[in-house]
């Protein structure tokens, strides 16, 4: 029964809604898509502001360059596609035409990770965070829910420079609709305090981490959950502080364990406070077809899976 | 500007190219020299630009999509007064602002470029931005004939043609040579004009080394409404330096001291002839 009261919204939906809601406040905002407006949800913006929506057709490489050129005329382009094509196919265009000249282009990459589901491995991008992190000056964000996704879109528009935001296809519980919620690029938050182990999570895995912490608590294990939306620049302070407190860190992400949040956390801790870290995510494997829920369960990224991994680690 | 003055400027631009590449001991003289007359025409006659105010809002934009010809662009910018000509000898050296490929922080450079196929997309974006913002500046971009083998070029061409970006002028430097050989023997992009026509461009063929032809082509481009223009510019790689002309060897190689002396003597001779023509 309790489950019925949980509001679930896909962060791609939040993205489309935020673009529309912020359009008046940011008159220079224009939205680009590559024949996926219905899926990326920029169609919500397009319906309200057709003259400010540019469909570039199925040509992501060109779309990144067009966005670069638009930004040089004072527009603030939000470029949209699936993460696979935005960060994968167009990586070099993002690097050379947006990152190198440090242009004011925002990339809204939807359908990230395995929760793309049935489409399977070709469309499940588990590498985008790793790729985007390597571009100097690129801000990389991965919001956990509707509230954070909308806040991230606003923050990106207020920030001058290139930003990559990762959104998901599947509806996920809203967890940040709390009074006093504040969002800042580069700031993480403690969403549950604990003392025995730190679980650092990003995106939809924050909810799994919270669920795991609940189960661990029932067995007397006190888990602290750190929610990281901005993977770059990383909130090193919050991670070091929590690691010092608990002495053990588990990272959880819907992404390869190579180069993503887990790697960023390891980079930070190995230089500042060497700590044993267990990285949960895609363990150097491709995804496959299946429902989002079934995949998250199979790859151990649901609350049950995270709980089991943390317990084993203790 | 009369043709003789343009020819003199172009000859100075060529001297700057050869000097910069010689000093850097690396770089791309062949294509820089084949485009030298074009760079000169754009920066000394065609484009609305101001060396004293390189970022002025209503300026025309230029994107060097074939970014490896940076020596040509830099030499034109220097000779036009955007920065000191003497700085050309710092090309490609550690600490110099004159990077191996165009960088947006250089005075007069409108977009970083060099990874082939990308500049034309940025130019299309600028042209669209001008249209959306009700601004009437024009956007020019120069591509190599080898560069158009990149698929992104045709994504951009499709976009520009579909969007009817008549404020965009694409120039292809058709010197017929790329690194691995003549372009029609590597992976032929011919017919270039027909391809751009098929992508809904107005296409003009022009002699790259005839200022009357360039002037007529750019006038026609400016007067063409409802579609972008592509000028296929027929050129001679290495133009102006005897031993570099029509030679693949000089695509991306610097002259040694002896070769540099010969190259400069070639250009000095052309310069002297132009002076003589002026006095006549």
Put simply, the answer to whether B121 touches A74 (Cβ < 8 Å) is no
Across chain A, what does the average pLDDT equal? 97
Q: Which of B104, B132, B133 sits opposite A101 (nearest CB)?
A: B104
pLDDT(B224) > 80: yes
Closest Cα in chain A, distance from residue B262 (Å): 37
Put simply, the answer to whether A59 touches B122 (Cβ < 8 Å) is no
Put simply, the answer to whether B128 touches A92 (Cβ < 8 Å) is no
Q: For residues B73 and B75, what is the distance between their CA atoms, to the nearest angstrom?
A: 5
Q: H/E/C letters for each residue in A57-71?
A: CCCHHHHHHHHHHHH
CA A305 and chain centroid, separation: 20
Residue found under tokens 């001291």: B257
Residue of A nearest to B156 (CA): A62
Q: Which pLDDT belongs to residue A6?
A: 84
Angle subtended by helix axes A205-218 and A303-313, to nearest 10 = 60
Closest Cα in chain B, distance from residue A131 (Å): 18
Radius of gyration of chain A (CA): 19
pLDDT of B74-101, one tens digit each? 999 999 999 999 999 999 999 999 999 9
Nearest to A239 by CA among A249, A254, A229: A249
Average pLDDT over residues A240-253: 98
Residues 52-71 of A with CB under 8 A from B: 52, 54, 56-57, 59, 61-71
Q: Which pLDDT belongs to residue A2?
A: 47
Query: Is A60 among the residues known to form the active site?
Result: yes
pLDDT of A249-275, one tens digit each? 999 999 999 999 999 999 999 999 999
Put simply, the answer to whether B112 touches A100 (Cβ < 8 Å) is yes
pLDDT of A73-93, one tens digit each? 999 999 999 999 999 999 999
pLDDT(A211) > 70: yes
Q: How long, in residues, is chain B?
A: 280
B125, B139, B151, B162: which to substitute to probe chain A, counting the most A Cβ within 10 Å? B125
Q: Which pLDDT belongs to residue A5?
A: 73
Q: Is A193 on the interface with B (CB under 8 A)?
A: no
Q: Which pLDDT belongs to residue B50?
A: 98
Number of H helices, E strands in chain B: 10, 7
Q: Is B168 on the interface with A (CB under 8 A)?
A: no
Average pLDDT over residues B123-129: 98
Q: For residues A110 and A10, what is the distance between their CA atoms, to the nearest angstrom?
A: 10
Closest Cα in chain B, distance from residue A156 (Å): 20
Q: Which pLDDT belongs to residue A4?
A: 57
Q: For residues B225 and B261, what is the distance between their CA atoms, to the nearest angstrom?
A: 47
Put simply, the answer to whether A101 touches B112 (Cβ < 8 Å) is yes
Residues 170-229 of B with CB under 8 A from A: none
Q: Is A24 exposed, middle or buried (0-12, 13-18, 19+ CB in 10 A)?
A: exposed
pLDDT of A123-161, one tens digit each? 999 999 999 999 999 999 999 999 999 999 999 999 999
Residue of A nearest to B119 (CA): A65
Q: In the structure, what pLDDT confidence band is assigned to residue B280 with cuts at 50, 70 and 90?
A: confident
Residue found under tokens 């409108």: B110
Chain B residues whose CB is inside 8 A of the A65 CB are: 118-122, 124-125, 152, 156
Q: Is B9 exposed, middle or buried (0-12, 13-18, 19+ CB in 10 A)?
A: buried
Catalytic-labelled residue, pool A13, A21, A24, A60:
A60
Bridge partners (DSSP) listed for residue B61: B139
Put simply, the answer to whether A69 touches B120 (Cβ < 8 Å) is no
For chains A and B, CB pairs below 8 A equal: 106
How many CB atoms within 10 Å of residue A174? Answer: 18
Q: Which of B111, B114, B162 sits opposite A72 (nearest CB)?
A: B111
Residue A171 to residues A145, A211, A264, A302: CA-CA distances in angstroms?
9, 17, 26, 14
Closest Cα in chain A, distance from residue B129 (Å): 5
Q: Which pLDDT belongs to residue A3?
A: 53
Q: Which of A51, A65, A92 sits opposite B125 (nearest CB)?
A: A65
pLDDT(A1) > 70: no
Q: Which of B125, B133, B155 sits opposite A68 (nearest CB)?
A: B125
Put simply, the answer to whether B121 touches A92 (Cβ < 8 Å) is no
Nearest to B89 by CA among B20, B18, B26: B20
Q: Calculate the dihedral angle through the C-alpha atoms of B264, B265, B269, B275, rounding to the nearest 10 degrees.
A: 50
Closest Cα in chain B, distance from residue A16 (Å): 22
Q: Which ranges of chain B does DSSP label H, i.e. alpha helix?
A: 3-24, 29-34, 36-41, 70-80, 119-132, 151-162, 183-186, 192-198, 211-223, 257-279
Helix (H) or strand (E) holding B229: strand B229-234
């Amino acid at each position: 029964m309790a489950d019925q009261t949980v509001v679930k919204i896909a962060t791609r939906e939040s993205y489309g809604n935020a673009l529309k809601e912020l359009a008046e406040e940011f008159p220079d905002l224009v939205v680009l898509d590559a024949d996926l407006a219905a899926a990326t949800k920029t169609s919500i913006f397009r319906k309200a502001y057709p003259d400010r929506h540019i469909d570039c057709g199925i040509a992501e490489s060109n779309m990144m360059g067009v966005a670069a050129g638009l930004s040089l005329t004072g527009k603030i382009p939000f470029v949209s596609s699936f993460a696979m094509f935005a960060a994968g196919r167009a990586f070099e265009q993002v690097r050379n035409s947006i990152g190198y000249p440090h242009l004011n282009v925002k990339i809204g990459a939807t359908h990230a990770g395995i929760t793309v589901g049935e489409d399977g491995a070709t469309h499940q991008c588990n590498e985008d965070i790793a790729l985007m992190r390597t571009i100097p000056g690129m801000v990389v964000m991965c919001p956990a829910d509707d509230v954070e996704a909308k806040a991230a879109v606003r923050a990106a528009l207020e920030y001058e420079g290139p930003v990559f935001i990762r959104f998901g296809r599947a509806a996920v519980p809203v967890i940040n609709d709390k009074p006093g919620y504040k969002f800042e690029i580069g700031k993480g938050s403690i969403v549950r305090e604990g003392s025995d182990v730190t679980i650092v999570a990003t995106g939809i895995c924050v909810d799994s981490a919270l669920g795991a912490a609940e189960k661990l608590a029932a067995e007397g294990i006190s888990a602290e959950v750190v929610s990281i939306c901005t993977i770059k620049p990383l909130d090193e302070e919050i991670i070091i502080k929590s690691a010092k407190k608990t002495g053990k860190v588990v990272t959880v992400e819907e992404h390869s364990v190579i180069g993503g949040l887990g790697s960023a956390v390891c980079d930070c801790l190995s230089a500042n406070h060497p700590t044993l870290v267990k990285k949960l995510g895609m363990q150097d494997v491709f995804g496959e077809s299946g429902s989002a829920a079934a995949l998250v369960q199979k790859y151990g990224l649901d609350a049950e899976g995270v709980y089991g991994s943390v317990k084993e680690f203790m | 500007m009369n043709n003789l003055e343009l020819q003199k400027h172009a000859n100075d631009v060529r001297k700057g190219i050869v000097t910069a590449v010689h000093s850097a001991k690396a770089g791309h003289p062949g294509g820089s020299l084949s485009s030298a007359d074009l760079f000169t025409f754009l920066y000394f006659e065609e484009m609305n630009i101001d060396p004293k105010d390189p970022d002025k809002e209503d300026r025309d934009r230029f994107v060097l999509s074939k970014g490896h010809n940076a020596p040509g662009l830099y030499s034109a910018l220097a000779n036009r007064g955007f920065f000191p000509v003497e700085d050309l000898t710092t090309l490609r050296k550690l600490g110099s602002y004159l990077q191996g490929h165009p960088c947006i922080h250089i005075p007069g450079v409108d977009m970083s470029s060099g990874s082939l196929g990308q500049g034309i997309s940025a130019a299309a974006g600028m042209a669209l931005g001008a249209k959306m913002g009700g601004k009437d500046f024009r956007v020019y971009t120069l591509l190599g004939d080898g560069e158009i083998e990149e698929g992104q070029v045709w994504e951009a061409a499709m976009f520009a043609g579909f969007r009817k970006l008549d404020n965009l002028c694409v120039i292809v430097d058709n010197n017929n040579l790329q690194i691995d050989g003549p372009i029609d023997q590597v992976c032929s992009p011919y017919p270039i004009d027909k391809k751009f026509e098929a992508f809904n461009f107005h296409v003009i063929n022009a002699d790259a080394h005839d200022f009357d032809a360039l002037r007529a082509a750019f006038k026609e481009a400016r007067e063409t409404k409802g579609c972008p223009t592509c000028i296929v510019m027929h050129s001679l790689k290495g133009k102006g330096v005897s031993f570099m002309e029509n030679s693949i060897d000089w695509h991306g190689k610097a002259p040694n001291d002896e070769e540099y002396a010969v190259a400069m003597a070639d250009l000095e001779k052309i310069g002297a002839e132009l002076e003589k023509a002026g006095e006549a």
